[in-house]
Chain A
Amino acid sequence: MTEVVATNETILVVGGGISGMTAALEAAETGKKVVLVEKRPYLGGRVSQLYKYFPKLCHPTCGLEINQRRAKMNPNLTIITMAEVTNIEGEAGAYTATVKLAPRFVNDNCTGCGDCGKAVEAEFDDEYNYGMSKRKGAYLPHVMAHPMQYVIDPRIIGTDDAQKAKAACKYDAVDLDMTEREIKFPAGAVIWATGWQPYDAAKIQPYGYDRFDNVITNVEFERMADPKGPTGGKIVRKDGKEAKNVAFIQCAGSRDRNHLYHCSRICCMASLKQTHYVVDAYDDAQVTIYYIDIRAIDRFEDFYQTVRAMDNVKFVKSKVANVITDKEGNPICRGVDTEGYHRYENTHDLVVLATGMEPSVAKGDFPVDIVINREGFIEPDAANGGVFAAGSASDALDVNRAVQHATGAALKAIQVVNRVARAEA
């Protein structure tokens, strides 16, 4: 990792998901110096883990590729991966950021050839696939990771595997002596784009996510549909049975004062999108969507109506009360519907919980003074000074709105560093 060159006219972007990338690129392309700090070993965040976007059902890899290319070509942008901002001090126009760099154990010589991955034997849960598959102790996080460099899992350091990885590398890219470092640099404005994480489904006790193999979350289902995912794109259960009869439970965690106060906005459209995956995979598919109300707003209405019109898709207006399983492990959704108040007990092959979004930084963990609302998202507030939220750090947003919001945040940050530039001129 090269040292960071930064001044009070630099914009620091925290988080390299779709919002952070967008904000960083928009600012850098106007000529501002930008430092982008990302915790994961690659950019793209949760968008890189999506199979398709709604409503066009196109692939996020397409847009990511464009952004990655923009990032590579821009000399104003410095990208630091495997890094976490631990402290931000100062005020608008004069911040000092402290960043903790985790060792990658692989340097910039890496060509992504994969020889180290082949040599290493130890395997770990693959975070990229939400633990649904294994990856090696030396690994490329995903096929189009940016930077296209391998990572060595710190858990194999000091073992034979680490030596094997080093021996296998033809480019002298494996550096087992790397250690955790801390760097400090100035910044005039900060864009906070730490995004979201899926709400912990195990906390929704009646749905049994922690007890039943065939109750999974929508982010896991998304990986399952991806041909590059843990099942090679097959929609199957853990026991290998094809999941043809799939139930989606909406508002799993969202709009529930016991869990998340807010509506997560994306889950209705995500389930409607994932319904397409099931229907496309099996001719005799049967999908049931349990919902309180479908929030497919404005231009998404057409998408909803298309799914609604499918013969093999059933909409049940009811929040499922609880899930139990039969002897074969088939999940059974139980509840009472609101259209007629009929009691039901429906058996499915697989239940997908449409889990909501929560901010990925917990309320007390922000390393900077910032105004947080009841839901844990960042409020636009004058007290935040030169720190601006972008994307899902500010609210539950879909990709489209996150990108718009990030562009706005970039503009606000540019205004701050322009003020600094005028004062210094």
Chain B
Amino acid sequence: MSDMNTAMIEKYRNSFLSEVEANVEEGEWVKMCMQCGVCAGSCPLGDAWEHTPQKIFMMIRAGKRDEVLQSDSMWMCTSCYNCIVRCPRELPITHIMHGLAHYAKRLGIVPQGQPTAKFAQLFWNNLMKKGRVNELKLGISLYFMNGFGEGVKTSLKMKDIGIGMVKTKRMNPMEMLGGHAVKDLSGFQKVIKKAQELEDARLAKHGG
């Protein structure tokens, strides 16, 4: 449990809905859910999740803080946007799910080994270096995400595809050495820094 998590529990004692409204992106929409179930039924991965969006929203209102923030549901969302399109109340369901995932991450209570969370971190770290995604490095770091042995095994399994991509110039092996950056890398870093400041200011306002 992080200090921030403890602080938030203390601050929003008994009102998880208020906590979500203040801290989760688009969280103020949660109370608008009328529990019709169209999102749950429309989700192509619906039966693979622990909780459907409909159920998550009800759990938020019921104050089931730990169950919600440690659910795998928001990490399973593939952003197909079926739920947003169908929702009779136009709730930005996909965004709320991502907002919940982000909030759980900030609180440091993402379930250990959550693969989507791990991959998201790899993607972010990769992107921040050069302002663009180095696909070669990202792919390889993905193979080695769960340890060296599995990484070697997956790499061998994928090697024909890799060679094929090099041959058809879909992949440049030289990218392994540093890789190229966006044209204005320092400009990119300034943008990110500014975004971080705005985010920090927003969090400070909500006492996070």
What is the CA–CA distance of A322 and B39 in the complex, to the nearest angstrom?
Answer: 11
Residues of B with C-beta under 8 A to A341: 40, 51-52, 54-55
- Which of A256, A257, A292, A335 makes the CB contact (< 8 A) with B41? A335
Q: Mark A298-341, 1 if CB is under 8 A from B, else 0.
A: 00000000000000000000111110000000000011111001
Chain A proximity of B120: nearest CB distance (Å): 27
Chain B proximity of A353: nearest CB distance (Å): 14
A321, B86: Cβ atoms closer than 8 Å: yes
B residues contacting the other copy or chain, number (CB 8 A): 19
What is the CA–CA distance of A206 and B202 in the complex, to the nearest angstrom?
Answer: 40
A322, B42: Cβ atoms closer than 8 Å: yes
- Which of B36, B47, B51, B88 makes the CB contact (< 8 A) with A257? B88
A257, B90: Cβ atoms closer than 8 Å: yes
Q: Is A258 an interface residue (CB 8 A)?
A: yes
Q: Which of B37, B42, B46, B89 has most chain A Cβ within 10 Å? A: B37
B88, A255: Cβ atoms closer than 8 Å: yes
B86, A343: Cβ atoms closer than 8 Å: no
**Nearest-CB residue, chain B, relative to A319:** B36
Residues of B with C-beta under 8 A to A258: 85-86, 88, 90
B86, A335: Cβ atoms closer than 8 Å: no
B90, A318: Cβ atoms closer than 8 Å: no
- Which of A256, A320, A338 makes the CB contact (< 8 A) with B54? A338
A336, B41: Cβ atoms closer than 8 Å: yes
What is the CA–CA distance of A5 and B96 in the complex, to the nearest angstrom?
Answer: 64
- Which of A255, A322, A336 makes the CB contact (< 8 A) with B52? A336
* Chain B contacts with A in 27-48, Cβ cutoff 8 A: 34-38, 40-42, 46-47
Task: Say whether, besides A292-B36, A341-B54, A343-B46, A334 and B88 are in contact (CB < 8 Å).
Answer: no
Chain B proximity of A331: nearest CB distance (Å): 15
A335, B88: Cβ atoms closer than 8 Å: no
Q: Is A251 an interface residue (CB 8 A)?
A: yes
Residues of A with C-beta under 8 A to B85: 258
**Nearest-CB residue, chain A, relative to B90:** A257
- Which of B37, B55, B90 makes the CB contact (< 8 A) with A319? B37
Q: Which residue numbers of B lie inside 8 Å of A, CB to CB?
A: 34-38, 40-42, 46-47, 51-52, 54-55, 85-86, 88-90
Q: Which residue numbers of A lie inside 8 Å of B, CB to CB?
A: 206, 251, 255-258, 292, 318-322, 334-338, 341, 343
Contact sample, A vs B, 8 pairs, CB 8 Å cutoff: A256-B88, A258-B86, A258-B90, A318-B41, A336-B54, A337-B37, A338-B54, A341-B54
